[in-house]
Amino acid sequence: MSYRKFTIEESWAVTLPEEDLDTDQIIPARFLKTTTREGFGENLFYDRRFDSRGEVIKEFVLNRAKGSETILVAGRNFGCGSSREHAAWALADWGFRVVVSSFFADIFRSNALNNGLIPVQVSNGFLEKIFEYSNNNKGIILKINLMDKAISIPATGESENFEINSYKQNCLINGYDDIDYLASNLKEIEEYEVFKLSSL
Amino acid sequence: MTPKTLFDKIWESHIVKEIDGGPSILYIDRHFIHEVTSPQAFGGLKRRGLKVFRPGKTFATCDHNVPTINQHEPIKDPLSAIPVEELRKNTAENGIRYFPLGDPSNGVVHIIGPELGLTQCGMTVVCGDSHTSTHGALGNIAFGIGTSEVEMVLATQTLLQTKPKQMLIRVDGPIKKGVCAKDVILYIISKLGTSGGTGHFLEFAGTTIEQLSMEERMTICNMSIEMGARGGLIAPDNTTFEYLKGREYSPGRKNIKKGKIVEQSEKGEQGEVGDEWNKAVESWCKLKSDPGCNYDSIHLFSAEEIEPMITYGTNPSMAVPVNSSIPEAHPEETGLYRALDYMGFEPGEKIAGHKVDYVFLGSCTNGRVEDFRAFVSLVKGRQKAPEVTAWLVPGSKRVEKQIEEEGLGEILRKAGFEVRQPGCSACLGMNDDKVPAGKYAVSTSNRNFEGRQGPGARTLLAGPLVAAAAAVTGVITDPRELI
């Protein structure tokens, strides 16, 4: 699926300082029964946002958010567990364009990148700085610059670089997707098949 | 010649093209799909006006949403019925072989692949499901992918992948009596953590691994993802070749009866094989890591230290031996505190003797016939504890059939158990097999996250022997007390 181009994102952040947030929490299995990619945002972190009677859990950070935040900051090993891409769809559909953590599960990282949701991996120290600032100041604004591969805290001027594969960086900046690229290589794929068969 | 790992050999032989500074185009030999992660992929193909490039290399089953009783009736829950019907339509429109409910080859995707000989050796195998790592047990690069990548495979039979790092996990020594493969992998994950393998592909080796049956190797590889690894593989050997010989899609399979090729015999015996089989085995024998090859990290374990295990928390690494206690926790360890609070356990509490409400035997981790044999070995001559609800779910129609043919079904029914029909079932509660809030379930599945088996459900992961012991005593019990 082609997605919106991503260059610079500056926004208030939702901070969730918990480690090992798995994809069952991000989007519980009972919400995976639909056959389209839309509408998952309303079920994002459902069992953390609502109790068993459907009442809003006021303390949960998403329920106290402004609603205009496009950046989520979470504890290490975000997105572990099931490969469900629905987790990335739910986050993107809610409105997030960036997830910041000190560590991402592999499959979630791929799924996020494939949906224009940037996983920004920072050092433990920088993550702590973000949580501390947010806690002491009732929130934090962050800025992500994809061209420079940098994340910064405008209020303090602190920043850090993050890694992203240059192929993916180029795709995201230009709004290209992988299938277009792969489909343009069908001839090479067929040549590989012929070669493989002949070498058996 | 630089010594190479088995992973290196398979990876390099599947590269179609390298991209400068980017991922490689990796050819995919085998693609499995199920009803949850495929609909949007087919939808995407339609929108782009693309066809399935190589329909013969994709095989489909329905498993996540299906009921595990009355499978001959239409699926009652409309939310479950719709994606299953979508899969039927999508596979029919695109010429993809589909094993629907009731088909003798239907079952949980990671159980039927090897069963049918669709999963062989030295392949790249993918599926929109993280437990695709299971297929690595036959010596494959097998890993889970998201729905967008399912679409890529359908459209081009390739994926863009960056080569991961590699980790060797050696387990040596004899396994103690009463300990099974599930205990081995739970032990490893408890030592390495849920992100211990992230960024890596695992190779399992060692004398312990070599002595395991194919089904036990599948249990081990299945849970590679629970330590964050992309997948895990085990080099194929004679055990692997004997397992694959004569399976329906295995090379050279033929069953000659009066000059005609027929289906497998009634007893489920594998058919005779021809030359193609010998050629395949000859090439598979080369699928080993070279002496002196390099891994990015290595971990060594001794099987003698492994006891029957059980999880106490809300991720698979939170596990201890059944005959020990839950760790002490400090208040700053907010993750552990949160987990114990959710589970209703106290730090330092002994885990054995705790009441059990549900027992689930099944899933792609432990839903095979050997798991049922192990369960039966402990419950035979005993009775299910009256207060325990037990879901015994074979991983496939073939497993279901074998359970009956071997007389295991009869023993289970005499002991007060009921054998259900194949599906993912209570592993993730997408069908009616949900554990109610606050109830404790000893489960032979692979994840114990908060709400995994139902909102508020309290999952305790274990192997089939620990599950059997809980089922007959009604409390968490060391199975060795009953052997």
ipTM, 2 dp = 0.86
**C-alpha distance from B417 to closest chain A C-alpha (Å):** 27
Mean predicted confidence (pLDDT) in B2-11: 98
pLDDT recorded at residue B143: 98
Cα–Cα distance, A70 to A83 (Å, whole number): 23
Strands A8-16 and A71-74: parallel
A104 phi and psi angles, rounded to 5 deg:
-120, 145
Q: Between chains, do B53 and A186 touch, taking CB under 8 Å as contact?
A: yes
Tokens of B236: 């194929």
A16 phi and psi angles, rounded to 5 deg:
-130, 85
Q: Beta-carbon neighbour count of residue B483 at 10 Å?
A: 11
Kindly tell me if the per-residue pLDDT of A136 is higher than 60. Answer: yes
Cα–Cα distance, A61 to B353 (Å, whole number): 38
Amino acid at B86: E
Contacts of A85 in chain B (CB under 8 A): 37, 128, 146-148
Kindly tell me if the per-residue pLDDT of B208 is higher than 50. Answer: yes
Q: Between chains, do A189 and B86 touch, taking CB under 8 Å as contact?
A: no
Question: Among residues of chain A, what percentage have pLDDT more than 90?
Answer: 81
Kindly tell me if the per-residue pLDDT of B54 is higher than 60. Answer: yes
Contacts of B39 in chain A (CB under 8 A): 35-36
- For the four alpha carbons of A172, A178, A179 and A185, in that order, the dihedral sign comes to positive
Q: Between chains, do A25 and B156 touch, taking CB under 8 Å as contact?
A: no
Q: Between chains, do A167 and B156 touch, taking CB under 8 Å as contact?
A: no
* Helix ranges (DSSP H) in B177-258: 181-192, 207-210, 214-222, 238-244
Q: Which residue in A3, A27, A35, A187 has the most chain B C-beta atoms within 10 A of its own C-beta, making it the best mutation to test that interface?
A: A35
Cα–Cα distance, B367 to A55 (Å, whole number): 37
Mean predicted confidence (pLDDT) in B84-100: 97
Report yes or no: A189 at the B interface, CB cutoff 8 Å.
yes
B432: Cβ contacts below 8 Å, ≥ 6 apart: B67, B77
Report yes or no: B335 at the A interface, CB cutoff 8 Å.
yes
Cβ atoms of B345 and B334 within 8 Å: the answer is no
Kindly tell me if the per-residue pLDDT of A31 is higher than 80. Answer: yes
Q: Between chains, do B22 and A168 touch, taking CB under 8 Å as contact?
A: yes
Q: Between chains, do B27 and A193 touch, taking CB under 8 Å as contact?
A: yes
Distances (CA, A) of A200 to A125, B11, B283: 52, 17, 9
Cα–Cα distance, B160 to B442 (Å, whole number): 39
Cα–Cα distance, B234 to B250 (Å, whole number): 19
Distances (CA, A) of B267 to A173, A182, A185, B376: 59, 45, 47, 21
Residues B397, B399, B401, B402, Cα dihedral to 10°: 170
By Cβ distance, the residue of A111, A114, A189 closest to B158 is A189
Q: Which residue in B36, B57, B162, B200 has the most chain A C-beta atoms within 10 A of its own C-beta, making it the best mutation to test that interface?
A: B36
pLDDT recorded at residue A198: 84
Mean predicted confidence (pLDDT) in B402-409: 98
By Cβ distance, the residue of B146, B194, B228 closest to A114 is B146
Tokens of A104: 């991402």
pLDDT recorded at residue B272: 61
> pLDDT tens digits, residue range B226-281?
999 999 999 999 999 999 999 999 998 755 444 344 444 433 345 566 788 999 99
Question: Among residues of chain B, what percentage have pLDDT more than 90?
Answer: 91
- For the four alpha carbons of B234, B209, B463 and B375, in that order, the dihedral sign comes to positive
pLDDT band at A51; cut points 50, 70, 90? very high
Nearest CA in chain A to B127: A83
pLDDT recorded at residue B257: 43
More confident residue, A35 or B323: B323
Average pLDDT over chain B, rounded to whole? 94
Q: Between chains, do A114 and B456 touch, taking CB under 8 Å as contact?
A: no
By Cβ distance, the residue of A24, A86, A185 closest to B17 is A185
pLDDT recorded at residue A90: 96
By Cβ distance, the residue of A18, A29, A167 closest to B23 is A167
Q: Between chains, do B228 and A77 touch, taking CB under 8 Å as contact?
A: yes
More confident residue, B49 or B265: B49
Q: Between chains, do B199 and A106 touch, taking CB under 8 Å as contact?
A: yes
DSSP A36-97: SSSS-GGGTTHHHHB-TTS-B-TTSGGGGS-S---EEEE-SSBTBS---THHHHHHHHHT--
Kindly tell me if the per-residue pLDDT of A146 is higher than 70. Answer: yes
Q: Between chains, do B147 and A85 touch, taking CB under 8 Å as contact?
A: yes
Q: Between chains, do B16 and A188 touch, taking CB under 8 Å as contact?
A: yes
Contacts of B198 in chain A (CB under 8 A): 77, 103, 105-106
Q: Between chains, do B194 and A82 touch, taking CB under 8 Å as contact?
A: no
Degrees to nearest 5, angle at CA B164 with B186 and A84? 65
> pLDDT tens digits, residue range B343-386?
999 999 999 999 999 999 999 999 999 999 999 999 999 999 99
pLDDT recorded at residue B259: 38
Interface of B with A in 288-327 (CB under 8 A): 315
Report yes or no: B236 at the A interface, CB cutoff 8 Å.
no
pLDDT recorded at residue A177: 85
CA atoms within 13 A on the CB side of B108: 31
pLDDT recorded at residue B268: 39
**C-alpha distance from B165 to closest chain A C-alpha (Å):** 12
Degrees to nearest 5, angle at CA B16 with B14 and B22? 105
Question: How many CB pairs below 8 A link A and B?
Answer: 172
pLDDT recorded at residue A165: 87
Q: Is B288 helix (H, G, I), strand (E, B) or coil?
A: coil
CB environment B110-144: b (16+ within 10 A), e (fewer)? bbbbbbbbbbbbbbbbbbbbbbbbbbbbbbbbbbb
More confident residue, B470 or A36: B470
Nearest CA in chain B to A169: B22
Report yes or no: B43 at the A interface, CB cutoff 8 Å.
yes
Q: Between chains, do A25 and B39 touch, taking CB under 8 Å as contact?
A: no
Report yes or no: A115 at the B interface, CB cutoff 8 Å.
yes
B332: Cβ contacts below 8 Å, ≥ 6 apart: none
pLDDT band at A5; cut points 50, 70, 90? confident
By Cβ distance, the residue of A36, A166, A196 closest to B43 is A36
pLDDT band at B86; cut points 50, 70, 90? very high
DSSP H or E run through A189: helix A186-198
Interface of A with B in 7-46 (CB under 8 A): 18-20, 22, 24-25, 28-30, 32-37
Cα–Cα distance, B229 to A13 (Å, whole number): 29
Q: Between chains, do A33 and B79 touch, taking CB under 8 Å as contact?
A: yes
Could you tell me what percentage of chain A is helix, strand and coil, using 3-state DSSP and rounding each to the nearest 5? 40, 20, 40
A160 phi and psi angles, rounded to 5 deg:
-150, 150
Q: Between chains, do B158 and A178 touch, taking CB under 8 Å as contact?
A: no
Interface of A with B in 125-164 (CB under 8 A): none
pLDDT recorded at residue B379: 98
Distances (CA, A) of B265 to B189, B257, B270, B354: 40, 10, 8, 46
- For the four alpha carbons of B98, B102, B103 and B109, in that order, the dihedral sign comes to positive
Q: Which residue in B12, B42, B85, B149 has the most chain A C-beta atoms within 10 A of its own C-beta, making it the best mutation to test that interface?
A: B149
Report yes or no: B160 at the A interface, CB cutoff 8 Å.
yes
**C-alpha distance from B446 to closest chain A C-alpha (Å):** 10
Q: If 0-12 CB within 10 Å is exposed, 13-18 middle and 19+ buried, where does residue A184 land?
A: exposed
**C-alpha distance from B245 to closest chain A C-alpha (Å):** 19
Q: Between chains, do A29 and B430 touch, taking CB under 8 Å as contact?
A: yes
